[in-house]
Amino acid sequence: MINRIRATLAEFGLVIPVGPRHLHAWFKEEFTEAENRMPKLLVEHVKRMKSRLNQLEIDLETLEKTVDQEGKSNELCRRLEAVPGIGRLTASAVVASIGRGESFSSARQFSAWLGLVPKQSSSGGKQRLLGISKRGDGYLRRLFIHGARAVIRHMNPKRNNTQWLQGLSCRAHKNVVIVALANKLARIAWALLSKNIEYDEATGAI
pLDDT for 203? 54
**pLDDT of 124 strictly over 80:** no
pLDDT for 135? 64
Tell me which of 132 and 153 has the higher pLDDT.
Answer: 153
pLDDT for 26? 94
**pLDDT of 67 strictly over 90:** no
pTM of the model: 0.69
For the chain, give every domain's residue range: 2-69, 75-194
SS3 for 29? helix
pLDDT for 126? 44
Mean pLDDT of 39-55: 95
How does DSSP classify residue 124? T
pLDDT for 123? 46
Let me know: does 44 contact 89? Beta carbons within 8 Å.
no
Tell me which of 169 and 202 has the higher pLDDT.
Answer: 169
